[in-house]
């Protein structure tokens, strides 16, 4: 052991402990998410208990200990090893804390408490009975409805949202509005709206299924892609990398007004708020389809 290591004494041990706890915190959150994904425990335990109830206090403790270790490391020479370890601990713990606390808390507060998104609520996309049955057998808690309303329980965290129509809340999230004299920016990056194409429904369906497969979605029902197809649909499920949350997707492709119209719906199986995931999924997919097939937002 070097003279510097010996003289650093308990300050070095404290910094090493802070680094160890910071690394443990990373592993804790990874275990919470992956354990839920692979069925070692339910998502309620992995997210609700391990991540939010226990993980956030652990992250705060790790950050606090790292700050203390770093400050003490600067007090007197030798400083190199205690400061390096303390700084490493602080960087790791802050990164994890920011990702979890801001990721869950900040996003949840800035986004509406909905988990069902589609391009046209006036003509809602209906999932097949087979996929609805699959959702039930997998323990889905969120029902699929033509005109859903936000659960009354949302009022405890999003005052005034309980009981409101999802269609109205989604519309508000897509556009800038004024609340109590103040301008509120859109919660979503772009409006969730249909697309129109000059190609036939069969041609667009072939491209849509190609994009869906490239994204790793589990295809539940494949579309018809022949030249005479007037109306067809794709159903798929995407499983999240963390926690293994499943969201179901339906893409409706039909001939209308001398063009091919594409509508899309994405709904989570569990959870009150999707943290904007379904809106991002629909926007991303539709943007790619629009770019690759030269789509537009109006029939003509």
Write out pLDDT tens, residues 28-66: 999 999 999 999 999 999 998 999 899 999 999 999 999
CA separation for the pair 32, 29 (Å, rounded): 5
State the pLDDT at residue 98.
Answer: 83
Q: How does residue 1 score in pLDDT terms, banded at 50, 70 and 90?
A: very low
State the pLDDT at residue 178.
Answer: 63
pTM of the model: 0.85
Tens of pLDDT, residues 89-123:
999 999 988 877 766 666 666 788 999 999 999 99
Instruction: Tell me which of 288 and 189 has the higher pLDDT.
Output: 288
Q: Give the CATH H-level superfamily of domain 116-145+191-293.
A: Kinase associated domain 1, KA1 (3.30.310.80)
State the pLDDT at residue 7.
Answer: 67
Task: Answer whether residue 250 shows pLDDT above 80.
Answer: yes
Q: What is the mean pLDDT of the chain?
A: 90
pLDDT over 70, % of the chain: 93
State the pLDDT at residue 181.
Answer: 67
CA separation for the pair 178, 12 (Å, rounded): 54
Buried b (16+ CB within 10 A) or exposed e, 149-180: bbeeebeeebeebbebebbebbebbbeeeeee
Cα dist from 45 to 113, 143, 263, whole Å: 21, 22, 35
Average pLDDT over residues 166-188: 82
Instruction: Tell me which of 261 and 300 has the higher pLDDT.
Output: 261
Average pLDDT over residues 194-218: 96
């Amino acid at each position: 052991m070097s003279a510097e290591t010996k003289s650093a004494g308990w300050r070095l041990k404290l910094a090493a402990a802070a680094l160890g706890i910071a690394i443990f915190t990373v592993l804790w959150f990874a275990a919470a998410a992956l354990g839920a994904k692979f069925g070692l425990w339910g998502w309620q335990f992995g997210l609700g208990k391990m991540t939010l109830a226990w993980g956030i206090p652990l992250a705060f403790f790790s950050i606090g200990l790292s700050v203390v270790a770093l400050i003490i490391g600067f007090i007197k020479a030798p400083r190199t090893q205690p400061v390096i370890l303390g700084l490493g601990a602080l960087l790791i713990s802050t990164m994890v804390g920011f990702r979890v606390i801001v990721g869950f808390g900040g996003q949840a507060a800035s986004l509406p408490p909905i988990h069902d998104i589609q391009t046209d609520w006036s003509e809602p996309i209906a999932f097949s009975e087979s996929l609805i049955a699959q959702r039930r057998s997998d323990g889905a808690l969120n029902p699929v409805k033509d005109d859903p309303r936000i659960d009354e329980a949302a009022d405890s965290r999003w005052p005034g949202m309980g009981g409101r129509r999802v269609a109205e809340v989604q519309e508000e999230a897509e556009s800038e509005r004024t609340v109590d004299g103040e301008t509120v920016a859109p919660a979503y990056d772009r409006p969730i709206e249909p697309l129109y194409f000059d190609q036939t429904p069969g041609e667009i369906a072939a491209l849509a299924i190609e994009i869906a497969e490239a994204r790793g979605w589990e295809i539940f029902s494949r579309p018809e892609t022949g030249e005479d197809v007037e109306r067809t649909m794709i159903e798929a499920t995407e499983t999240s990398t963390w926690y293994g949350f499943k969201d179901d997707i339906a893409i409706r492709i039909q001939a209308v007004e001398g063009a091919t119209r594409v509508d899309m719906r994405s709904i989570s199986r569990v959870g009150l708020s999707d943290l904007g995931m379904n809106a991002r999924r629909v926007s991303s997919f539709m943007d790619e389809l629009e770019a690759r097939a030269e789509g537009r937002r109006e029939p003509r």
